[in-house]
Amino acid sequence: MKVIKILAIDDQKPILDELQDLLSSEGYEVFLASEGEEGFQKAKSIIPDLIISDIDMPVMNGYLLLKKLKADPVTSSIPLIFLTAKSKMDDLRYGMNLGADDYIPKPFRMDDLKNAVQIRLKKQNLFLRQIENISKELQEFHFDLDIAEEIQQKLLPEKEKINNRVKYVYEFLPLNRVGGDILSITDLNDSILRFFLADATGHGIHASLITMCIKAEYKEITYKHSSPGTLLGELNNRFCQKYQELSTFFPCIVVDVHTKTGEMKYASGAFSSVLKNGSELVYLRNTGTLVGLKEDFPFETKTYQLHAGDKILLYTDGVTETMNTKDELFGEEIIFTNLKKADNTSELIKTIMEEMKSFRGKQDVLDDITIIGIDFE
């Protein structure tokens, strides 16, 4: 059984002797100090379960001692009871504001001291149990987070791939260990490659759980539809019907590329990206609304013909809404400028990532970042 350690600090030896006798008779292990600085050093060394201290002491009084204890991570959580002749309300309030746990007036009665010590130790024991429970919950949380991160990484497609005349590459950078951007690349058949990019609301664990729902629903229906528009129409209705209470709606885009002929079809729900079609930049404008916002909302499918050297760039708003220390947005002009002169999307994405980092400076990353580059050769 653990022995409770109590540190008593007072500049009057008779009081220290009395505290030693009383507390030892109750089964506590007692340590003594005759002034504040000595008491602080002993507190750091032995880490007592409780400190009982006088206020009026030479060199370092009880108030300064308490400030020093609370400022040190090693001793900040040790409870302290003041033993003092001070009885003015201002003195009591000052000590409590500094973090004192209780006051016992001098001369003290034996029963008052015993009761105060027992009550404070019970509260401290409860506090430590709560800390232990929180620590266990945090361990479980981090274990779950490890699994979620591993699952998300395993669900990502190959980083770079060539399929007939189509080559793709992407960059996926979650804000936290797990992110809210959804990326899927599927071979519908031997000649059509389907790209799906969505941005779930929020970040971290909450967003990653929503991404699991989106991925599950998308995976179940993606092979049913040859048209990106009808695919998003069914995905939209599923979320309106099944997840209405969660208010789960999100922007996304589906792009189908015929790897031999270069025919490209797309549909988007509040998600804009860009196509370099010859020397012309074509902004892939929205063909629908946020998925999950309104049931039976129509999603139009648009078609373009790709030629050798054409490029498609898909990106989430974590790219365009990257901010610098002046609260300015990265925007799309830099993307368009680099796309016009890019030889391939692999180098283009590297350039965009470098320019984003330079633009951001010391500003923190605020959102998940995903960019997909598609080259038709």
DSSP letter at 54? -
What is this structure's pTM?
0.65
Pairing mode, strands 80-84 and 102-105: parallel
Delimiting residues of CATH 3.60.40.10 domain(s) in the chain: 156-376
> From CA 312, how far away is CA 372, in angstroms rounded?
8
Strand partners, 280: 277
Of 90-99, 195-204, 316-325, 351-360, give the lowest mean pLDDT range. Answer: 90-99
pLDDT in tens, 53-78: 999 888 899 999 999 999 999 999 89
pLDDT value, residue 30: 92
Q: pLDDT band for position 201 (50/70/90)?
A: confident
50 versus 130: which is more confidently predicted?
50
Q: Two tokens at 328? A: 């300015």
Domain over 156-376 is classified CATH 1.10.1060.10: no
Residues of the chain with CATH 3.40.50.2300: 5-132
Is the pLDDT score of 129 beyond 80? Answer: no
The residues with which 6 forms a beta bridge, in sequence order, are 30, 50
Of the two residues 215 and 149, the one the predictor is more confident about is 215
pLDDT band, residue 323 (cuts 50/70/90): very high
pLDDT at 151: 64
Which parts of the chain are beta strand (E)?
Answer: 5-9, 29-33, 50-53, 80-84, 102-105, 160-163, 166-173, 181-187, 192-199, 252-258, 263-269, 273-277, 280-284, 302-305, 311-315, 369-376
Position with higher pLDDT, 96 vs 264: 264
CB 185 within 8 A of CB 373: no
Q: What is the mean pLDDT of residues 263-270?
A: 95
Q: What is the pLDDT of residues 111-124, one digit of tens each?
A: 778 878 888 878 77
Mark out the alpha helices in 243-360 (DSSP H runs). 317-320, 333-341, 345-360
CATH class of segment(s) 5-132:
alpha beta
- Side-chain-side CA neighbours of 121 within 13 Å: the count stands at 20
Q: Residues of 278-316 as b/e, b for ≥16 C-beta within 10 angstroms?
A: eeebeebebbbbbbbbeeebebebeebebeeebbbbbbb
Alpha carbon distance 216, 239 (integer Å): 11
- Determine how β-strand 50-53 pairs with β-strand 5-9: parallel
